[in-house]
Amino acid sequence: MEVWFPDLKTLFLPESLELAPEILSELLEQEKRNFYAKLEISDDKISFETFQDSSILDYYFGILEHYQGVHSDDTIRKIIEDFEPKYIDFWNEISYSQRYFEMLKICLKSWGLDLEETRIITKSIEWFEVRGIDLSQEKQTQLKNISKKLSELSQNFSNNVVDSKKEFEYNIEDESIISEMPDDDKQAAKDRAIKKNISWYLFDASQGAYMSIMKYCSDSQVRKHFYEFRHKVATTWKHDNSPIILEILKLRHEKAQLLGFNNYAELSLKFKMAESPEQVIELFSDISNKAQSKSKAELDEIRDYFDITDLQIWDLSYYANILRKKKYALDDRELKKYFEFEAVLQWMFEITKKLYGIEVKKIDQESYNQDVSIYEVYKDGTFISYFFTDYFYNELKRPGAWANILREKFEENKKITLNVCNFQKSENGQTLLTLSDVETMFHEFGHATHEMLSRSKYSELSGFHVEWDFVELPSQLLENWCRDSSGMRIFAKHIETWEWVPEEMFLKLEQLENFGSWEFVITQNTYAMMDMWLHSITPPSSVQELEDFVNKNYDDNASFVRGEVYSPHTSFTHIFDGWYAAGYYSYMWAEIIEKEVWKAFKDSWDIFSPEVAEKFHDMVLSAGTIKKASELFRDFFWRDVEISAFLSEKGLA
Ligand SMILES: [Zn+2]
């Protein structure tokens, strides 16, 4: 087969990048000309094909964006920053093009569209509709004004959080109270102090510093101080987010109603798997009740073990951490010796071969750095996609891990999926991964398989385009095979002794995973419920009303007595300056549905059950978004989402 993988090495040479701005401008002009020409097509000539042109601009810009992700130096950043606004402007022009919208509607009515084509056109029409294209000129203007105001308010919200956090710092002089803290964390606190020209250890309001204090600082009063600050961020007169929240909620509600929805939560769920705010609230209330009863037992265990009668919320992480270490002492350095990078990678490919019948073959092609590997992926002997990996940390790479598509269109075998991670590479050859690295590797490959295995010939219906509360299903699901003892038994061999992971270690890992799981579940749940309720009700009209609401939500869902200081909403950037408004539930939702599928494998007594794997492949994975996610789920289970599998996997049943 002819290799049709782009020569990324050449594309990213300085002399090539020098030409990038000009190429981008030309491609954009070309794209605009094509678009305006399309608008001139007469009604009787409109067909499905009218909307099916692959964009070289998207492809080229995607490649450059990838490079920015893995090698973010000034050159590439400037290229992207200069071009992006022009690109967005053009997109906005398209999304308010009345003629284009009309054309889509004509196409939908035309004769002979098959199911997939109908779904693609319907989805496009809906996308235009929620942007308000169908509204009167007056209402459109209103909508645009709301959007503008909302983006200003969100920006102010975030600024207040940042500025408010900046005002916090805490100097610890008594080293004995942080003696249990890991050296890295202490060093970070020391570095902070040096920067400010003071002695001792300086802690700020960053997530890392906060977690470190809550887990390792032995002084309860210090923990209390941090906890209380954390729960009053952006509440002072100087940086007060409460009035901003009231305004945001009001405007979102107005926006939803302009677009014909009862409230903002309904608008948000329009493109998600969850069918209504009520469905989410009902399932999450059940989880909340179960987690609360589990919490009582574990809290009692902590009180008994340390003989504390008055356990406060800021004491919890500290004592839980000590207990966890005492009960399940697990040597992370020893565990790593079972996860040699190359071996784990080969076994991951082996596992997905067993499950989905895909074969991954490395090809010999140079790329932009030595750590990049390029593969061809086959299913039942047929090429389905290129897959390339850029697994190791370098200082110019964006933190985290992700899966992406470089080229979507199927024709001529050109699809490219990729995984990027930030694993620490060993200098002396053999790289050992932590269990969490292994999970990340499986997770991202799960995303990649969702895309590679999509059977529709249209990229609009592939795995990466599903509802976003459904998109984590294949990735989180695949993680189970590296964590489950029968999965881990296949690949995890000690690098020196060649022994399997001992039974006792498995047991500890399993118990460790569920220890304190209720705390995480309750916290996530309380946030998710606050978010969903706030966007479902008539917006509160005063700060007092808002506070009463937030407090009641805590009392209904949490298991600890609320502290005097409690204001989590004023720093909740996920929903007030982010994409998660009436969508915070999706983190846990993804886990709920993933545990359901995993349970189907476990119930068959074989985590490689060919029947279950085939059913999952055919009905969910390869279906991409040919149907709505809720329908795919029903095809697989013959029922709606339930929480029993989630509860039992989390040890909360
Ligand atoms: Zn993911």
CA–centroid distance, residue 513 to ligand 1 (Å): 19
What's the average model confidence in pLDDT over 620-646?
96
CA–centroid distance, residue 471 to ligand 1 (Å): 7
Contact of 539 with 305, CB cutoff 8 Å: no
> pLDDT grade, residue 272 (50/70/90)?
very high
pLDDT for 122: 96
Give the lowest-confidence range in 246-255, 407-416, 444-453: 407-416
What's the average model confidence in pLDDT over 181-197?
88
CA–centroid distance, residue 260 to ligand 1 (Å): 32
pLDDT for 5: 86
Q: DSSP assignment, residue 620?
A: I
Give the lowest-confidence range in 93-107, 227-241, 287-301: 287-301
CA–centroid distance, residue 475 to ligand 1 (Å): 6
pLDDT for 199: 85
Neighbours of 91 (CB within 10 A): 9
418 SS3 class: strand
Contact of 624 with 454, CB cutoff 8 Å: yes
CA–centroid distance, residue 338 to ligand 1 (Å): 24
The DSSP element (H or E) to which 143 belongs, if any, is: helix 137-166
CA–centroid distance, residue 583 to ligand 1 (Å): 16
pLDDT for 408: 80
CA–centroid distance, residue 401 to ligand 1 (Å): 9
CA–centroid distance, residue 608 to ligand 1 (Å): 22
What's the average model confidence in pLDDT over 557-565?
85
Q: Give the span between the Cα atoms of 333 and 330, in whole angstroms.
A: 9
What's the average model confidence in pLDDT over 60-79?
94
CA–centroid distance, residue 472 to ligand 1 (Å): 5
> pLDDT grade, residue 2 (50/70/90)?
low
**pLDDT tens sequence across 577-616:** 878 999 999 989 999 999 999 999 999 999 999 999 999 9
**pLDDT tens sequence across 122-153:** 999 999 999 899 899 899 899 989 999 999 99
CA–centroid distance, residue 211 to ligand 1 (Å): 23
Describe the chain by its helix, strand, coil percentages, rounded to 5: 60, 10, 30
Give the lowest-confidence range in 5-19, 172-186, 224-238, 328-342: 328-342
> pLDDT grade, residue 487 (50/70/90)?
confident
Kindly report the average pLDDT of the chain as a whole number: 91
CA–centroid distance, residue 186 to ligand 1 (Å): 31
CA–centroid distance, residue 107 to ligand 1 (Å): 35
Q: Give the span between the Cα atoms of 63 and 525, in whole angstroms.
A: 38
CA–centroid distance, residue 443 to ligand 1 (Å): 6
pLDDT at residue 52 tops 80? yes
Give the lowest-confidence range in 23-27, 55-59, 514-518, 536-540: 514-518
pLDDT at residue 97 tops 60? yes
DSSP 323-386: HHHHHS---HHHHHTT-BHHHHHHHHHHHHHHHH-EEEEEE----SSTTEEEEEEEETTEEEEE
CA–centroid distance, residue 469 to ligand 1 (Å): 11
pTM of the predicted model as reported, rounded to 2 decimal places: 0.90
CA–centroid distance, residue 448 to ligand 1 (Å): 10
CA–centroid distance, residue 649 to ligand 1 (Å): 19
pLDDT at residue 413 tops 70? no
CA–centroid distance, residue 5 to ligand 1 (Å): 25
pLDDT for 399: 84
More confident residue, 254 or 497: 254
pLDDT for 3: 62
**pLDDT tens sequence across 245-261:** 999 999 999 999 999 99
CA–centroid distance, residue 614 to ligand 1 (Å): 22
Beta strands 402-407 and 382-392 are: unpaired
pLDDT for 509: 85
Q: Which residues are within 8 A (CB) of 548 and not within 5 positions of it... i.e. 6 or more apart?
A: none
CA–centroid distance, residue 594 to ligand 1 (Å): 12
CA–centroid distance, residue 446 to ligand 1 (Å): 8
CA–centroid distance, residue 420 to ligand 1 (Å): 12
pLDDT for 486: 79
> pLDDT grade, residue 1 (50/70/90)?
low
pLDDT for 63: 95
